[in-house]
Amino acid sequence: MEATVTSDAPGTTTGTAHPSDRIDTSVAHPARRYNYWLGGKDNFQADRDSGDEMAAHFPTIRTSALENRRFLQRAVGYLAREAGIRQFLDIGTGIPTANNTHEVAQSIAPEARVVYVDNDPIVLAHARALLTSSAEGATAYIDADLREPEKILGHPDLLRTIDLSRPVALMLVAILHFVPDGDDPYAVVRRLLEALPPGSYLAASHATHDYLPPEVAEAARAAARGGGPHGVINLRSLDEFTRFFDGLELVEPGIGSVAEWRAEQEPQPRPSVVEVSMYGGVARKS
């Protein structure tokens, strides 16, 4: 069932959503597993079992999840404060928690407008927490998959909330590694960026095998090749992640660990690149 959450006027939200009939508690889902790693309560035993199994191979995965979340917040802060972006398209937003994209953006620019996209019915059930817009701004939620760019770009709730003739920040944080090579994630990102005007930005993060022990990296690659269960992580190298930014102008300090990207004000010392094993970057479309 598709969400019908709209933003007809600044600061207002309306809509209904009935996602409970779609929730399968027996199968792990990336958004709920991520919620578990962040210490949230919106998850089920299957999510916890999956999260614990991954943590057995990568013991610092909770650190990685926390640092990825902090990267999101710093990236939004940069885009709103320094780049002057007032529109955000956040795909793969996950279950609402503290300092969501609209909260960070609207704390800097109250008129900021944010569209969230996710395909987990648990996220849909909590969508109203993503719609607490400032009076000057607006938020909307779309129930869709990243691999459906045309559905996202043509959705009436997006078109009511975001003006695609003006710059937009496309947020793809910790979502691209859930898209296997067979679904051509590069083409998906290109299509989304094609719809955005010059002056728009891409902010993305991605799990990597570059710092993992060889046997763990190979096990992860084998799982991805085999299709694996829902939510298998397709780890990619620095070069593979960098390809998502082809044709864009990288913002300093370029692509690197999410724990280090513009993290001067974060508590020191920072987690190591090995502990986090997640790349992040922000780039501008000319």
Over residues 9-33, the pLDDT tens digits come to 344 343 344 455 567 888 888 888 8
pLDDT at site 193: 98
Task: For residue 277, give the 3-state DSSP assignment.
Answer: coil
The model's pLDDT over 214-248, given as tens digits with 9 standing for 90+, comes to 877 787 777 666 554 446 789 999 999 999 999 99
Domains of the chain: which residue ranges? 26-284
51 touches 45 (CB < 8 A)? no
- Tell me which residue has tokens 């060889």: 214
CA atoms within 13 A on the CB side of 135: 0
Q: May I ask the CATH class of domain 26-284?
A: alpha beta
pTM: 0.88
Query: For the chain, how long is the longest CA-to-CA vector?
Result: 53
The model's pLDDT over 98-115, given as tens digits with 9 standing for 90+, comes to 789 999 999 999 999 999
pLDDT at site 22: 66
- Integer Cα distance of 257 and 118 in angstroms: 25
pLDDT at site 3: 34
The answer to whether residue 4 scores a pLDDT higher than 60 is no
Most confident of the following: 31-40, 54-63, 115-124, 192-201: 192-201
Question: What is the dihedral angle through the alpha carbons of 31, 32, 35, 41, rounded to the nearest 10 degrees?
Answer: 150
**Share of residues in the chain with pLDDT > 70 (%):** 89
The answer to whether residue 43 scores a pLDDT higher than 70 is yes
Helices 45-57 and 61-81 cross at an angle (nearest 10°) of 100
